[in-house]
Amino acid sequence: MNILWLQSGGCGGCTMSLLCAENPNIVDTLADAGIRFLWHPALSIETGQEARALLEAVEVGETPLDILCVEGALLTGPKGTGRFHMLSGTGRPMLDWARALASRARHVMAVGTCAAYGGIPAAGGNPAGAVGLHYDGSHTGGALAADFRDKAGLPVINVAGCPTHPDWVTETLMLLAAGALSATDLDRFGRPRFYADHLVHHGCPKNEFYEYKASARELSELGCMMEHLGCVGTQAMGDCNIRPWNGQGSCTRGGYPCIACTSPEFEEPNHPFTETPKIAGIPIGLPSDMPKAWFMALASLSKAATPKRVGTNAISDRVRIPPGAKERK
């Protein structure tokens, strides 16, 4: 199977995330699965006229296309023309190319939240008219029509994340190559369920602090960041802490709150990312599927039962009191 990869309005961070994958790297992983890049702006040697000729051959059907991957938001401005982002040397907007090539591809994949829902380029009033391939924020009907389906009957596959996890990209591509991804394997926002059926909270190294509601007050502290520092890992879809980046990294492991970057419209939370909005001292955003009254009762009991070790370490920048073995009577 071959992949044609376009980069639209964004920072290129999803490609950087993909290229930083180790053991195995992206090239070896896809080659072993029988998948190759027909063209990728960072990996391919074709440039200029060679690249344009390749795109034209795909558009007219001379070169079959298995998977179209788009990274970055599609810019529809000004006034729906897409001319804020022209594909160099072609005289045509990237918006036009994405639509034309999507009609030729067997599968279409949005890589990253910008390509999926608009993401960061859609923030701040969205003057560029940034949208995702299949979604405009949380609503279907972005660059492609709301009823778009690929040649296999699937909607756009939204491998959301900012940046997206390299394993999410390669696993999705390999599932497509194996013919093992169906519509039931996608959630309501088109995300592959193998990672979207999990919460970032699952496997978080701060879970002991969360259980006791022992909260950090500053970003340098070890405690749970939900109560004061804006972490929404209990509501955000992703297996970031179950399979960390290269086996080690995630936002919460690095001491930064989860901002739900796999979700539509995460870029406009209506409050600073590192602050928790509250009413009468109670956080507005509560864990998924949990009634507020239950959470408040549990939180009160948990705080009352917090061990000294957990409470002390929560507001420290290092472990002050290590866990000790329980003495036998």
Supply the CATH classification number for the domain 198-315. Answer: 4.10.480.10
Report the pLDDT value the prediction gives residue 113, as an integer from 0 to 100: 98
User: pTM value?
Assistant: 0.92
Report the pLDDT value the prediction gives residue 25, as an integer from 0 to 100: 87
Q: Are 207 and 201 in contact (CB under 8 A)?
A: yes
Q: Where are the domains of the chain?
A: 2-195, 198-315
**Mind listing the pLDDT tens digit of every residue in the chain (329 residues)?**
999 999 999 999 999 999 999 888 888 899 888 999 999 999 999 999 999 999 999 999 999 999 999 999 999 999 999 999 999 999 999 999 999 999 999 999 999 999 999 999 999 999 999 999 999 999 999 999 999 999 999 999 999 999 999 999 999 999 999 999 999 999 999 999 999 999 999 999 999 999 998 999 999 999 999 999 999 999 999 999 999 998 889 999 999 999 999 999 999 998 999 999 988 777 777 776 777 676 777 777 888 889 999 999 999 999 999 998 777 76
Report the pLDDT value the prediction gives residue 247, as an integer from 0 to 100: 87
Q: Are 296 and 279 in contact (CB under 8 A)?
A: no
Report the pLDDT value the prediction gives residue 76, as an integer from 0 to 100: 98
Q: What architecture is the 2-195 domain classified under in CATH?
A: 3-Layer(aba) Sandwich (3.40)
Q: How far is CA 205 from CA 64, 173, 196, 210, in A?
A: 46, 29, 19, 10
Q: Are 105 and 115 in contact (CB under 8 A)?
A: no
